[in-house]
Structures are given as C-alpha cells and as structure tokens.
Amino acid sequence: MKTMRVDGNAMRAMLNNGLENIRCHEEEVNMLNVFPVPDGDTGTNMRLTLEGGLKAAKPAAECNLFLQELSRGMLYSARGNSGVILSQFFNGLYLELSRCPTVSAAELRNACIRGYRSAYKAVVKPTEGTILTVTRLGIENIRAQIGRRTPIEDMLSMYVAEMKKTLTFTPDMLAVLKEEGVVDSGAIGFIYIVEGMLKHLYGEKIEFKGKTVGDNLPAGMAAAAEPLVDFTHFNENSVFVDGYCMEFILQMMKGKEYLKNFRLNKFINDMSDFGNSIVAIQDDSRVKVHIHTKKPAKVIETAQAYGEFLTFKLENMQVMHNHRDTLKIKKENRKPLAITAVVNGDGMVSIFRTLGCDAVIDAGPSMNVSSQDFVEKFSGLNADKIVVLPDNKNTTLAARQAAKLYAEEGGEDIASDVVVLETSNMAEGYFALAMDIQSDPDVDNRIGQMKMGIEGVNCLAMTRATKAFSNDRVNLSEGDGFVVLNDEIILGCPASEFERDWADILVRGIVEVPDITDKETCVIFRGEGTTDDDEYLLTDKIAEQLPLLETTVINGEQSLYGWIIGIV
C-alpha cells in the first residue's frame, strides 16, 4: 500500500535515510569537484548541513513543527555553497508547509517549487548547470503529473528520475563540467538525499558503516537548548546587590499540613519581611505573586505553608544588572568598524591581525567555514559595522547567510550591519586590508578603499595535483605541479620537473599576468615547507625577469599552496 500523506515522524525517518545515503556517497561526491586540489568537500558540506538540522530538530508528529526546527538547524549548520543552497531549499520547504501537520504529494510538489526558488534567491548570481538547475527542472518538468491522488512514492520517483535526467545535461550548461567530463557534485549530492528519502518509503533502510570525511560537528542549534542566561555577567567576584526576581502561581491546598486561613493582606505583609516590589493577586484558591528578594528560601517556605506551586520562576537580577552595565561599557567603547577574515596558516593569521583585522578565522587548507562559525565571531565584535573578507569563493555564501542570520537574531549588542566583501583569495584580502585607512572616521569611505584594494589584484598559486586533470592548457597526473592564475590553471609540469625547476615555472606564470610590465607591486606568501633559500631563489629570478616589480615576501605558512602571489 502506497503512502498518501506523511507526518513529522515519517518525514524525519525519510530524511535520516537521506542523510545515510549522502553519507554513503560522501567521498564520491567530494571527488566530483573539477579542481584538482584537496578542497573537494561538497559531499561533506551537504552531509554536515543536513546532519546539523536533524540534530537540532526534536521529534514531532506534526510535519510543520519538525520542519521548522530542521530548517533553522540547517541554516546554522550550513557549510560551503552546497550546504547553504541545501539549507535554503529546506527553508523554502518549511515555509510552504508551515501550516501542514501532514503532507500530500501535491503539497510536497509545491514545497519543492518554493524550495528551489528560495535557493535561487540565496545566490547573487545563480549559475545554471548546478544543483539549482537540477532542483528547478526536476520538479517543474513533472509538476503537471502530480495531483491529489498521487502517492508520495510516485511523486519522489518521478522527481528523482527527472533530476537524474537533468543532471546528464549539466555539462552542456557549464563549461568547466564538460571540460573535466563530470556532472555537478552538489546536484548529485541532492539527488542522493532525495533518493534516500524515497528508499525509506519502500522499506529500504540505509546504514553507513564506514568513516565519514571530517568530524561530526555539534548541531548548529545546540546553543538554543542551553539556558538563555549569559553566565559571563556573574561570577565569584561579583557583588550581589539586586537579589532575585521571583514569580509564581500558588495553588492553596486542603490537606491537614497546610494553613487554611489564607488572607491576602496578611500574606503580602509577611512577604514584605523578605523583599519588595511585591504584587499578589488572588483568584479563588490560587494566588499569583511577584517579588524581588534576597531570601528566596524564606519566600518559598512562607508560600508552601498554604499550598504548592503551579508555576515558578527565579531569576538573578544581578546578572541582568551587570549585563546592562556591560552593554553601557560596550557602547562607550564601540568601534565604528570591525573586520573579520578567513585565512589559512599561522603567518597569515599574524599578518592579517597586524593589518588591523579584529577577528581572524584559521579555517585550514579547505578554507571551509560554517554560517555558525561566522555568527560566533560577529558576536564578539563590538562595532556598528562589520566587514567580512571570506578570502575564498566557497566561503562567500556562508558569510552572506551568516550576516542575515546575525541580523535576524536582534538584541542590544548586535552590530547594525554586516558587509561581505567578496574576496576570492587571501591575496585579495591582504590588499583590501592594506588599503584600509583606519584613522578615517568615514566608515563607508574605508569600505570603499578596501573595495578598491581588491580591484585589479591578480593572484597566482602553486601546488601539486591530487588527481589527474586536463584542460586545453595542461595535462596533469597525480603529483604533478601546476600554477593557478585567478582560479584558472595555466601551467603544469611533471613531478620531476616540478622538483627541479619550480621557481622558473612560477616566474613563467607571473609573466602571464595581463599587462605585467605595468604592474608595480608583488606580494609573495610563503607556504609550509618553503625555506629561506627557496625565497632567495624565487625573488632573484623575479628580479631578473621583471626588475621594476617591487617584491615583498611574507611567511604565510599556508598549508595547501607552497606559494601564493598577489600582483597589482
């Protein structure tokens, strides 16, 4: 018997099966990335995003309630472009089903339509041939075939089949896919999730028995389950002056152990011995009480002489008072502008801080940062505006989503605005900071200067290929060396030649920078494993070839690229 409607428990089970399916294919999806360096993490990002949402969502029989918590958890757990797009799809799914305790195939069809539209809106410049296209055409091409009597198994079967069909056309839509002979990794990752959901309905439980790529992170919404009290505002050195705020509803009882002659005026008078700001209202055999006191035990003892508590709240007012004092101090010391950046390498962290970066995230070789990571950094910055330098294209979307989530949180100490400058690499981030005029009181002018610093930066990077790769300019085997100029591989060489002539090859790459003879500044970031002798060799060769180019070397200690070079 096929399924006509699913509730929250069924949807949770379907998504858990989808999670296991993407977990089974995680490495396969990662390897579909067309760039031959170890930043292939699409499968991992999608798995972590869905995993975080499921951890955050409590079981609920109502589908809409389950999806509400799932969606918010995914927003905070989203990592990379693929994770952010996936979270936005499920956000649209929830918005469409927000009033549906159970869901039919027709309702799920409408939700998938809203899901892909939400995902498109999250991307400033949507690229066809990606997960966006597959989610859109997958549902649009079958929407007319799904009606009120369509079983959910049939709807999802058609959806998966149409997405797989669309997937085969993605290389024709996106040149880089065709060049490498692969399909979009995010698209196939999404298909694996939906396929896992479908398999659950057919009784196939998927269990992953291997090791996942990366560590399982805590649910993005785990903090929501913690007390709302900020304990940093009260410790062993605090002075306890303000006492507690107590509120309770007392049900008077008839048992012999309770006093029978309750009189409201006498009760208020007795409470006056223990505190102030007393409000007490009697409604038949119940009384609602509010009091500020330093002796909560006395208040409880007095109240329990007459009955027992239906509700009870106790708050440390000193915490709230100290919080207000902290906010006052923060306001007095508030900066007009703070800057946070994503980098890799101890040297990079140091130089970015020296250039005025208030918060630096060392994200490792993959430069992979979640929206939650950004939000946590924003929370520690006391500024009217925050500028973010993601320094990686795969991090930009997570930064923009974090800015939106941070603004939605509200609160007195939330920065008024977060501006994401779309730096594609650490060289662009460096030049943006170098152009910042910290003494300028005009924040918008400072941001404009940083934008100018990004413009015209040519970035070269050198490393080794981790898998075979070819395009119209290079043909690489695993272990070969290659040079990237502005995200395009322009030079490659066999591993043996790379060991011997790496400096000459890198200089050949520099010469390919457009209008190189008109350039004036070259900043070189040394990676892990490079030596002073390597530095002298490279700078000497650059001086021989381009004597008018002013060269500066910084020990960035980045772990993926041996050399990163910014030229303006």
Amino acid identity, position 127? T
Using N-to-C axis directions, what is the helix angle for 105-122 and 152-173, rounded to 10°? 30
Class of domain 458-567: alpha beta
Cβ(192)–Cβ(15) below 8 Å: no
Among the residues of 390-547, which ranges form H helices? 393-409, 426-435, 443-454, 495-511, 532-545
- 509: Cβ–Cβ under 8 A, 6 or more apart, which residues? 460, 462, 483, 485, 490, 491
Euclidean distance between CA atoms 321 and 172, whole angstroms: 62
Amino acid identity, position 383? A
List, in sequence order, every beta strand (DSSP E) within 43-144: 103-104
User: Which residues in the chain are classed under CATH 3.30.70.980?
Assistant: 241-321
Using N-to-C axis directions, what is the helix angle for 185-201 and 131-140, rounded to 10°? 40
Q: b/e for 494-530, b at 16 or more Cβ within 10 A? A: eeeebeeebbebbbbbbeebeeeeebeebbbbbbbeb
Both tokens assigned to 457:
């930066």
- The reported pLDDT for the residue numbered 242 is 80
Going by their DSSP bridges, the two strands 563-567 and 521-527 should be labelled as antiparallel
- The reported pLDDT for the residue numbered 227 is 38
- The reported pLDDT for the residue numbered 38 is 31
SS3 state of residue 82: helix
- The reported pLDDT for the residue numbered 58 is 93
Going by their DSSP bridges, the two strands 383-389 and 417-420 should be labelled as parallel
Per-residue pLDDT of the chain (568 residues; tens, 9 = 90+): 899 999 999 999 999 999 999 999 998 898 786 533 334 578 988 999 999 999 999 999 999 999 999 998 988 787 777 888 899 899 999 999 999 999 999 999 999 999 999 989 877 578 899 999 999 999 999 999 999 999 999 999 999 999 999 999 999 998 888 887 889 999 999 999 999 999 999 999 999 877 554 443 333 333 333 334 556 677 888 888 888 888 888 999 999 999 989 999 999 999 999 998 787 777 789 887 878 899 999 999 999 999 999 889 888 888 867 766 776 677 777 899 999 999 999 999 999 999 999 999 999 888 889 999 999 999 888 899 999 999 998 899 999 999 999 887 654 455 569 999 999 999 999 999 999 999 999 999 999 999 999 999 999 999 999 888 888 888 999 999 999 999 899 999 999 999 999 999 999 999 999 999 999 999 999 999 999 999 999 999 999 999 999 999 999 999 989 999 999 9
Superfamily of domain 5-210: DhaL domain (1.25.40.340)
CATH number of 334-454: 3.40.50.510
The arrangement of secondary structure in 241-321, i.e. its CATH architecture, is 2-Layer Sandwich (3.30)
Euclidean distance between CA atoms 165 and 186, whole angstroms: 15
Euclidean distance between CA atoms 515 and 364, whole angstroms: 33
Beta carbons within 10 angstroms of residue 435's beta carbon: 18
User: Which residues in the chain are classed under CATH 3.40.50.510?
Assistant: 334-454
User: Which residues in the chain are classed under CATH 3.30.1180?
Assistant: 458-567
User: Which residues in the chain are classed under CATH 1.25.40.340?
Assistant: 5-210
Longest dimension (CA), the chain: 102
